[in-house]
Amino acid sequence: MSREQRPRDARGTHTRAVHGPEGSASGAMSSAIVHSATFSFSSLEALEAEKALGPAGAYYQREGHPTLHACERRLAALDGAEVALLFSSGMAALSCAWLATLSAGDHVLVLDQCYGGTHGLLQWGAERLGWTYDLVDARDPAGWERAFRRETRVLHVESPTNPTLCVVDLARAATLAHRHDALLYVDNTVATPVGQQPLAHGADLVIYSVTKSIGGHSDLLAGSVVGSAARLERVWKARKVFGPVPDPALAWQIERSLKTLPLRVTRANANALELATRLKSHAAVAQVFYAGLPGHPGHETARSQMSLGFGPLLSFEVRGGAAAAVATANAFRLIRHGPSLGGVESLASLPAATSHVQLGAEGRDRAGIPEGLIRLSAGIEDADDVWADLEQALAHAALPTRA
């Protein structure tokens, strides 16, 4: 694996998504699915030479695989990264990124507004592996400085956050982390690699739930970590030890989805902005969380570091609290009700009952997540049809529930 920094690909986002890395446009139009977990060699010397390639080799599927490599190269090209690694889920990707860096006694800083599964991993690591951690408020970056310790190894952020869409100034976060000899890890799932490139703003590693917008069709489970070859080698060793490697057919499916990622993201982002704008003036809605709205506190930062829009995810608080939100969600007809985001279908969930249930009411209040919040992942349907469903469902928020 080369340790030299690759020159930045000057081709446009759509071109890189369709054609993959430069120099790869020859032969079959679709990558081959190599249905083999084990590879044989003509001699011990040949076996050892292949094994020495590490993640770039094809010695045994848990260590590296040709079909995975094809997808990983395309992922890296989209992120402007040297290397990408695939995992069997987003949480597997995040876990291996942290396991590659944190030891007993090490300290990690994480946004209070991060994904609920990230909170679960923090608690698990603290109880079983001896990590320590503190939560910092995404809305108060000026206060992060005080939370760093001598043993802080990682500042982990999302931008925009899930589900309240706080925006982090990534360059500022990178400067802060590096000043304290810590690394900046960015969960870029909501923005996607075509909507935001954290490495260009100083991040050390970028993590994705590929299940979401990258996969984009609600039919696969995977994750990815991207970054420099030196950083990724340690993450690769964690993946090799714990084994969360996707199968070749899934890697091929992800690579195919990447070819249409900019198209899907552009459409979903445009729908999200249109729906957020309309929801903002709806009588049944108390507040809307979306960085694309000019009044959002992170709007200007998002404009400067995001592209193709402001992400497909928005959230809104229904007047009347949790009961009104449940009544609204139960009344959706076109919008699907489920615990994910980033698919071609518009999908809604109640964070208090799904992604952030483990925080409890007190933890959600601390993170600024209202009990009456509905998270909406805008799909690629006609925006007017999704809006019509929102309007008829919100009419149920004011109706009394049956005993």
Q: Which residues are marked as active site?
A: 62, 115, 187, 212
Burial (CB count <10 Å: 0-12, 13-18, 19+), residue 47 = middle
Q: Are strands 205-209 and 313-318 parallel, antiparallel or unpaired?
A: unpaired
Distance CA 359, CA 371 (A): 12
Residues contacting 300, CB < 8 A, separation 6+: none
Nearest to 226 by CA among 218, 242, 217, 214: 214
Q: Find how far residue 306's CA is from the centre of its chain.
A: 14
Cis amide bond preceding 163, omega within 30: yes
